[in-house]
Amino acid sequence: MNDDQIVCLCFGVRRRKLVQFIRTRRPRAVSQLSDCFGAGTGCGWCRPYLEQLWSSESPESETLPDAQSYAEAREQYRERSS
Ligand code: FES
């Protein structure tokens, strides 16, 4: 996953924004990432990935799924949730 990849697909929040938010705002709980353009407050698919970034010592280095498989898995998640 590169810095331009969108992590929260519901709100179009890119990894770069999340990493910057984590570095500068130092959220004390992963739920506070919602203050970063609403990340995680839609379908909920991205929440485990938000937690992965938030809990990492080096969020910019975290390995996340490639964009296509990430988006496909989210669609499956949304279908199961509806
Ligand atoms: S992808 Fe982030 S809340 Fe839906």
pLDDT, tens only, 32-70: 999 999 999 999 999 999 999 999 999 988 888 999 999
Ligand 1 site: residues with CB under 6 angstroms?
A: 8-10, 40-46, 74
More confident site: 1 or 23 = 23
Handedness of CA 44, 7, 52, 27 (dihedral sign): negative
The pLDDT value recorded for residue 76 is 96
Residue nearest to atom 4 of ligand 1 (CA): 43
